[in-house]
Amino acid sequence: MFQEEGLSSVTSSPLQFFSMMSLSVSPSLGSPYQMKCEQRGLVLIHLLLAGANFVATGDLQNANLTLEQISQHASLDGDTMQRIASYFSEALADRILKTWPGIHRALNSSRITMVSDEILVQKLFFELLPFLKFSYILTNQAIVEAMEGEKMVHIVDLYGAGPAQWISLLQVLSARPEGPPHLRITGVHHKKEVLDQMAHKLTEEAEKLDIPFQFNPVLSKLENLDFDKLRVKTGEALAISSILQLHSLLALDEDASRRKSPFLSKNSNAIHLQKGLLMNHNTLGDLLDGYSPSPDSASSSPAASSSALMNSESFLNALWGLSPKVMVVTEQDFNHNCLTMMERLAEALFSYAAYFDCLESTVSRASMDRLKLEKMLFGEEIKNIIACEGCERKERHEKMDRWIQRLDLSGFANVPISYYGMLQGRRFLQTYGCEGYKMREECGRVMICWQERSLFSITAWRPRK
């Protein structure tokens, strides 16, 4: 583990550490160069919340002053809170700019997203953090168990971002006592280059292992998916894998951000936050509790989710109609689909502090790969959560309980992750080299956590008979 100045240890992530400290520090106290790490972190939290309040109320002059103060303390290559503050302040600034669409479009008109960047960021997410590997292990094990004895196997990969998961599965299937099945993998992705790379590497690996194999590329965004293109055939045993995809379907509810009066939302946020800042809170946890949603309240109210439920339900109903033997779903276990920006910001501060602290515990601050991952993946997600509304807001992460409700209503029954699958997951985390990662199991459903905070859930399902 890297040990650098101000580095948070496995036993004290930034927000956990700050929550034990007094919040008597004034945001304007001292020079950023004279502050200790924990004091600076508290100042940044105060400034971010105050700045968000100004943005929510349209007080642009004070928002500008606060963002300027944040820039004096924040740093893209600093400690966890300095890095987080950089991306949250950028998100708040972007939200302000969106009130002038012409200026916003002009500033972003030359921005080009390269396919190579998309492939790179997924590679870095896979390599620098254990989450995808952990999900692949449990997903593949559930598929192997469901496909025991099957001779024709078809896997629909709604993630379709790379071959690593399926190369591992091919190797497992090649060792089956009864011999490997005929395997067909359908990859769904919106970039042809990604699917082409996936097809090439999987075909190459299948030939090496002498496994009869076909790859079916489906060039599509998830919300526009034509299910006929999945080419599910009678006589095949079907498995579906969805990794970090289903939450984007909730953006189809264009009215989600308009179900509350914009006037009421804006003013209730401002009053609520201002009240919280004026109160004599003792800890960071107390401060954020003033406007952080409860674990079950973020998106479970009928007004917040009824239309989104219908849209996601249609998609899940279509998956149910394919009659898979197993469907394994991995999702972020967060409350980022709240109606108001202030609620989302408060929840996202905790969530992304955990992500950044994971990197802080194992990757040097000077690492360019770490900087790329934080900027190109986490920074863009934060911006989408804070700055965007309506259909433009895709990062609508919700807690596992909400997905359980949706899948149950769509006719799916939960399949407990097997003892052997959980054993494999635990062994992987034990050998990963960082004791901050933990696995939690609830009724056969698995969560991977940083310290005590759940970050991802993994659940398996089959159509209810």
Question: Based on the domain organization, do 313 and 451 belong to the same domain?
Answer: yes
At 128-155, the pLDDT tens digits run 999 999 999 999 999 999 999 999 999 9
C-alpha torsion sign, points 223, 229, 234, 238: negative
62: in domain: yes
Of the residues 348, 378, 395, the one at which a domain ends? 395
Side-chain half-sphere of 228: how many Cα atoms within 13 Å?
0
Distance CA 44, CA 74 (A): 8
Question: Based on the domain organization, do 169 and 79 belong to the same domain?
Answer: no
Q: What is the pLDDT of residue 377?
A: 96
136: Cβ contacts below 8 Å, ≥ 6 apart: 164, 165, 168
Question: Based on the domain organization, do 40 and 132 belong to the same domain?
Answer: no
Distance CA 436, CA 361 (A): 8
Question: Based on the domain organization, do 147 and 188 belong to the same domain?
Answer: yes
Q: At what angle do helices 164-174 and 131-146 cross, to 10 degrees?
A: 40
Pairing of strands 237-243, 152-157: parallel
422: Cβ contacts below 8 Å, ≥ 6 apart: 138, 439, 441, 446
> What are the residue ranges in the chain where pLDDT is below 50?
1-13, 16-29, 254-310
- Tokens for 236? 């095949």
154: in domain: yes
321: in domain: yes
Of the residues 372, 395, 418, the one at which a domain ends? 395
Question: Based on the domain organization, do 134 and 169 belong to the same domain?
Answer: yes
DSSP state of 407: H
Distance CA 394, CA 22 (A): 36
Of the residues 395, 414, 439, the one at which a domain ends? 395
Question: Based on the domain organization, do 328 and 450 belong to the same domain?
Answer: yes
Q: At what angle do helices 262-278 and 37-57 cross, to 10 degrees?
A: 150
Q: What is the pLDDT of residue 32?
A: 53
Domains identified in the chain, total number:
2
Question: Based on the domain organization, do 132 and 246 belong to the same domain?
Answer: yes
216: in domain: yes
CATH number of the domain that residue 208 is part of: 3.40.50.150
346: in domain: yes
Question: Based on the domain organization, do 232 and 161 belong to the same domain?
Answer: yes
Closest CA to 242 of 165, 352, 152, 336: 165
Which residues constitute the domain of residue 373? 34-105+339-395
Question: Based on the domain organization, do 316 and 422 belong to the same domain?
Answer: yes
Question: Based on the domain organization, do 314 and 180 belong to the same domain?
Answer: yes
376: Cβ contacts below 8 Å, ≥ 6 apart: 117, 120, 121
